[in-house]
């Protein structure tokens, strides 16, 4: 059995995983459930499993339901009702009146580990000889990343970055990035950087410095960044499907 909804790319299916959010902001509570059946006026789900948050789910709670599909995440508002039918307690969501496609955040940030090499150009000057350091990322988004470092790197140092995922996405490398913050956590130094797109390079380099940069730095444009944004978004969907975020 399945339920076709015009605003979603694929029908809702039995045993499909959904997320249920109750309340807003810091008081938000998150639950996981699966679709068990379809009724004329509702969707029967498994007993919602608490995942995180503060607000508890109760009978007649107003909730936001998140459905993860291949192309996007969809959400709709609903009421969760408990019904006793034939001696069995059912959890039933009212059918959605309107479904929204959750807009892909421009710079969704998720924890992903990728091999990365970086060279520090310093806060202002481009060094004649680059010294490369191999490390891994802590998290990544279409706008930047946090990477593990042996010591603090002072903002606003400029880094050049090479990363395995750049090759897979056909992004020319190295890519330029500016250090926005450094922090120390669990006995490890981390550096948070923001990628510098080609159209923003003049804000960080003089004309003579631009000529000395690797050509690939000028190729990290809006299109290249969008490929990275799409990759991160797809990884987010996969992690949600696995219940890891």
pLDDT of the residue at 103: 57
Task: Please give the average per-residue pLDDT across 177-192, as a whole number.
Answer: 91
Question: Is 90 exceeded by the pLDDT of residue 128?
Answer: no
Task: Please give the average per-residue pLDDT across 200-224, as a whole number.
Answer: 90
Cα separation, 80 vs 93, in Å, equals 5
Name the range with the highest mean pLDDT among 22-26, 53-57, 166-170: 166-170
Question: Is 60 exceeded by the pLDDT of residue 125?
Answer: no
Question: Is 90 exceeded by the pLDDT of residue 212?
Answer: no
pLDDT of the residue at 44: 96
Question: Is 70 exceeded by the pLDDT of residue 170?
Answer: yes
pLDDT of the residue at 136: 95
pLDDT of the residue at 1: 76
pLDDT of the residue at 92: 96
Percent of the chain with pLDDT over 90: 44
Tell me the CATH number of domain 115-237, given options 3.30.9, 2.40.10, 3.40.50, 1.10.30.
Answer: 2.40.10
Question: Is 90 exceeded by the pLDDT of residue 100?
Answer: no
Domain with CATH 2.30.110.10 in the chain: 2-102
pLDDT of the residue at 241: 66
pLDDT of the residue at 25: 60
Residue 126: which pLDDT band, with cuts at 50, 70 and 90?
low
Render pLDDT for 69-84 as a digit per residue (tens, 0 to 9): 777 778 899 999 999 8
- Provide the CATH topology of domain 2-102: Pnp Oxidase; Chain A (2.30.110)
Residue predicted with more confidence, 214 or 109: 214
Residue 124: which pLDDT band, with cuts at 50, 70 and 90?
very low
Render pLDDT for 38-54 as a digit per residue (tens, 0 to 9): 998 899 999 999 987 77
Question: Is 90 exceeded by the pLDDT of residue 225?
Answer: no
Domain with CATH 2.40.10 in the chain: 115-237
Question: Is 80 exceeded by the pLDDT of residue 210?
Answer: yes
């Amino acid at each position: 059995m399945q339920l076709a909804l015009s605003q979603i790319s694929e029908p809702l299916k039995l045993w499909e995983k959904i997320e249920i959010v109750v309340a807003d902001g810091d008081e938000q509570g998150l639950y996981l459930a699966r679709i068990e059946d379809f009724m004329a006026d509702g969707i029967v789900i498994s007993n919602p499993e608490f995942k995180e948050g503060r607000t508890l789910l109760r009978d007649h709670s107003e909730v936001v339901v998140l459905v993860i599909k291949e192309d996007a995440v969809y959400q709709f508002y609903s009421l969760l009702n408990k019904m006793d039918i034939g001696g069995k307690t059912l959890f039933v969501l009212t059918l959605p009146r309107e479904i929204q496609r959750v807009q892909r955040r421009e710079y969704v940030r998720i924890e992903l580990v990728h091999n990365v090499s970086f060279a520090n150009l310093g806060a202002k000057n481009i060094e004649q000889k680059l010294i490369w350091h191999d490390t891994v990322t802590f998290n990544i988004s279409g706008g930047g990343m946090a990477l593990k470092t042996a010591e603090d790197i002072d903002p606003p140092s400029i880094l050049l970055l090479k990363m395995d995922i750049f090759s897979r996405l056909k992004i020319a490398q190295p890519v330029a990035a500016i250090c926005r913050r450094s922090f120390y956590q669990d006995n490890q130094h981390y550096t948070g950087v923001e990628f510098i797109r080609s159209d923003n390079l003049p804000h960080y380099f003089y004309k003579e410095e631009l000529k000395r940069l690797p050509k690939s730095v000028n190729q990290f444009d809006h299109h290249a960044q969008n490929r990275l944004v799409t990759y991160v978004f797809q990884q987010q969907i996969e992690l949600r499907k696995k219940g890891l975020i």
